Chain A
Amino acid sequence: MPAEFDDLSRRLSDLESDVAQLHMAGPAAARRRGRQRSRNRAAAVVLGSAAAIAIGIGTLDAIPQATPTPPEPIDTPTPDPTPAPAPNPSPTSEAPEPDPLANLLLEPGDLADLGSPWVDLSWSEGTREPELGCFPAGPDGVQTAGVTFESARTIDQPGDFPVWADERIYTFANESDADAALSALRSEVVQCATERNGDDFTWGYDGIGDVAFESEMWPPAEQPLGRVTPFIGAARTGSTLVVTVTYLYMEGELIDHAELLAAAVARACGGDCVGEITQQIYPDAGAQAGDPQLPDEDVNPIGSYTDFVRSDTLSGSNRYEYFCLPELVYPDAAGQPSSEPVQVGGEAPTIYQGEWYGPSEGGFHETVIQFPDDQQAAGFVADHTELPEQCGDVVETHEQVVNQPASVDVSGADEALVWTIDERVLPGDPGSEPSFHGVGMARAGNVVVVIGFHAFGDPTTGTSGTWADYAIDTLAVAIDRAQR
């Protein structure tokens, strides 16, 4: 490790002396804090239910199953007095039709088989409350089936146990569509938690289908939740998406609520897609989840230039002509939000473009292209291994030099190219400045990322490396992000 890195490590280690002077409460305080949060959450269940009773209708905070239950909780059918005005009508509220998916749903007896604390709770099928807070709406236009369970146990009895559970199954045309729905559901959960000024915490699970997560939603620290929040699990197995929601009543520790998700997925796939379950922290949704393009912090600095900020809209400029990529010029995109894919019509690939500008002259451009398959993506790269002698219009008093592409290794990419275009000023045009265009292109599977930078002179030389160094670094981050 270079000496300056040793120095950085030493200086970071020295920060320990600041920490040493800080009083940290002991482990008992941490345990009390954990218990207190659970009690706050449990208290919120009671408060939310009381509020629902007081106003006589279901609210975002209400959970009917958590209401101190009157006698005969099981035998009383629960016709919904206010048919659901839900954004996505619940399958269980629709007219009954033969549904093969319904055979894949859990039954009340399956919940008792989950063991403690699910056992001995007298589970029965119930009616889904459509306006419960943070309940994912689910994708539209796909085949669905669903079931809701209620526990006969009431929250005036002490203990840690689930009081209500829900399962939904969605089938898609392919795994890719199911993955997209899984990602959308995750964003929905994060948004819901954020709107409640809480934060979500999501676990990933290996061993449950192909990919699985379960989100817990937490109130701000030391603050009662003030409403009921569910624990939402989702897993994809093949092209099928299984979503479970569990409401827990807690006095102490959390129960392992992933058991419900695992059981539901096992039933949906016939049992062979659930194995040994291991838990890990799920990737952070982040502030820009779902955006395949680079955040500003990964664009800056570019050589001696910095403070580039992504433009909210596209200019529709012809800059890509000067990058030797005229096929990426979309003048019709002028003015459209840069967060939306550029529409090129037909069966074309999905294309995202972004433009970054800063206080200095120059600009940065990124295009992310998601091709239908790897072959088309590879073909796009192959088409740029040799460039024309001139790119874009060059004024008579300038001379353009197109430097042919070089293959480079980019971490995470199957192949990558970089090239530069220099525009020099000929004698007789003393007022002009030379300009520089740098381009990088990387492919991973069916995804191609193109980055381009233009400025007067060559600000990438003599500062923090050459254009190739910058492009290799930036493409590694860009291709990683574009594939999420």
Chain B
Amino acid sequence: MSNSEEFDAFYDATNRRVLHQMYAMTGNLADAQDCVQEAYARAWQRWKQVREANDPVAWVRTVAWRIAASNWRKAGRGVRALTRLGAPDHAPPPSPDHVALVGALRQIPEKQRRAVVLHHLVGMSVDQIAAEMQVRPGTVKSWLSRGRTALAELLRESEEAHDAR
């Protein structure tokens, strides 16, 4: 199998999964799409190294996250995520439940959001998240605890507001 065939197979097998994860982490489909495409472009540029990595999907996800975080920092913390809401124009609007969840995710700090998604969507353990985020397990536990608490409160408020309508 040639390099490009190998990369194409990797891309086809993983891009939707990474996009889904980045959507949850960024709270914005357009941002997620842009970061994921850029991350795969970078993966192709150094495919020889990436394919040898322990977990190439984690490589792409981490690069995509870095790109998103860099964009936020350049645009002003959280500004872009709060102003570019929802899906790209050509996509149908998400369901109200998804809007509530994504809206809540966007309101919690980015590190807590990333930890929550890695644990509850990707299915990674605390130790695995600590390795990927390069912090100690205790820090991950703290972020998970706070992130879940904040999410629960935000979702409860959202449901109450919905019920009151």
Q: Which residues of A are in contact with B by a Cβ distance under 8 Å?
A: 4-5, 8-9, 11-31, 33-35, 37-38, 194, 197, 199, 201, 218, 221, 253-254, 256, 279, 281, 283-284, 287, 297-298, 301, 410-412, 464, 473-474, 476-477, 480-481
B152 — nearest CB in chain A belongs to which residue?
A4
Interface check B85, CB cutoff 8 A: no
A25 with B37: CB separation less than 8 A: yes
Task: Select the residue from A4, A283, A411, A412 with max chain B CB neighbours within 10 A.
Answer: A411
What residues of chain A lie closer than 8 Å to B73, measured between beta carbons? 194, 287
What residues of chain B lie closer than 8 Å to A17, measured between beta carbons? 95, 98
Interface check B29, CB cutoff 8 A: yes
A12 with B142: CB separation less than 8 A: no
CB distance from B45 to the nearest CB of A (A): 4
Q: Can you list 7 A-B contacts with CB-CB less than 8 angstroms, sorted by A residue number?
A: A11-B101, A14-B97, A21-B92, A283-B134, A298-B146, A411-B138, A473-B141
B66 with A201: CB separation less than 8 A: yes
- Interface residues of B, dominant DSSP: helix
What residues of chain A lie closer than 8 Å to B53, measured between beta carbons? 279
Which of B42, B101, B145 contacts A15, CB < 8 Å?
B101
B24 with A287: CB separation less than 8 A: no
What residues of chain A lie closer than 8 Å to B44, measured between beta carbons? 30-31, 33-35, 253
B45 with A254: CB separation less than 8 A: yes
A34 with B45: CB separation less than 8 A: yes
What residues of chain A lie closer than 8 Å to B138, measured between beta carbons? 410-412, 476-477, 480
A34 with B42: CB separation less than 8 A: yes
What residues of chain A lie closer than 8 Å to B34, measured between beta carbons? 221
Q: Complex: how many Å from CA A26 to CA B12?
A: 8
Q: Complex: how many Å from CA A5 to CA B152?
A: 10
Q: Complex: how many Å from CA A298 to CA B47?
A: 37
A15 with B15: CB separation less than 8 A: no
In the complex, besides A4-B152, A27-B12, 10 extra interface pairs with C-beta distance below 8 angstroms are A11-B101, A19-B32, A20-B16, A27-B11, A30-B43, A34-B43, A281-B59, A281-B62, A281-B66, A301-B146
What residues of chain A lie closer than 8 Å to B116, measured between beta carbons? 8
A24 with B19: CB separation less than 8 A: yes
A22 with B33: CB separation less than 8 A: yes
Which of B32, B49, B120 contacts A12, CB < 8 Å?
B120
A12 with B117: CB separation less than 8 A: yes
B38 with A33: CB separation less than 8 A: yes
In the complex, which residues 31-89 of chain B have their Cβ closer than 8 Å to any Cβ of chain A? 32-34, 36-38, 40-49, 53, 59, 62-63, 66-67, 69-71, 73-74, 77, 87-88
Which of A19, A411, A480 contacts B16, CB < 8 Å?
A19
A412 with B88: CB separation less than 8 A: no
What residues of chain B lie closer than 8 Å to A253, measured between beta carbons? 44-48
B36 — nearest CB in chain A belongs to which residue?
A24
B66 with A464: CB separation less than 8 A: no
What residues of chain B lie closer than 8 Å to A22, measured between beta carbons? 19, 29, 33, 87-88, 91
What residues of chain A lie closer than 8 Å to B70, measured between beta carbons? 199
Q: Complex: how many Å from CA A20 to CA B92?
A: 11
CB distance from A252 to the nearest CB of B (A): 8
CB distance from A17 to the nearest CB of B (A): 8
CB distance from A191 to the nearest CB of B (A): 12
What residues of chain A lie closer than 8 Å to B49, measured between beta carbons? 256, 279
What residues of chain A lie closer than 8 Å to B47, measured between beta carbons? 253
B23 with A281: CB separation less than 8 A: no
CB distance from A461 to the nearest CB of B (A): 16
Which of B67, B121, B141 contacts A476, CB < 8 Å?
B141
Which of A5, A24, A199 contacts B33, CB < 8 Å?
A24
What residues of chain B lie closer than 8 Å to A30, measured between beta carbons? 7, 11, 37, 40-41, 43-44
Q: Complex: how many Å from CA A254 to CA B44?
A: 10
CB distance from A360 to the nearest CB of B (A): 17
Q: Complex: how many Å from CA A225 to CA B62?
A: 23
A29 — nearest CB in chain B belongs to which residue?
B37
What residues of chain B lie closer than 8 Å to A199, measured between beta carbons? 66-67, 70-71, 74
